[in-house]
Amino acid sequence: MDAELLNGVNSGEPDALKFSPGGFVGHISGEQRYKFTSNENNSIIRIRLGKKGWKGASGRFVLADEPRKHYDYNF
């Protein structure tokens, strides 16, 4: 799935993310809102259920009923 941020800092949306200068670079606050779309060209990730949960080539996964995305701007 592809994710598109709908309420970025310069989006003009009423719930747009807010940027505050300070610290190393600055601070982004607000709740991120994304639009998800299917993309047949994305790679397929094979996961399997092991004794300690779902695993894939790049680490552990959590299965969900709907897609989720979060980007930590403050990291």
Delimit the domains of the chain by residue range.
2-44
Contact 47/61 with Cβ under 8 angstroms?
A: yes
pLDDT for 22 beyond 70: yes
Sign of the CA dihedral running 24, 25, 29, 33:
negative
| DSSP assignment letter at 14 | T
pLDDT band at 11 (very low <50, low <70, confident <90, very high): very high
Pairing of the two strands 59-60 and 34-37:
unpaired
pLDDT for 37 beyond 80: yes
Output the pTM of the full model: 0.70
Residue with more model confidence, 3 or 73: 3
d(CA 36, CA 45): 18
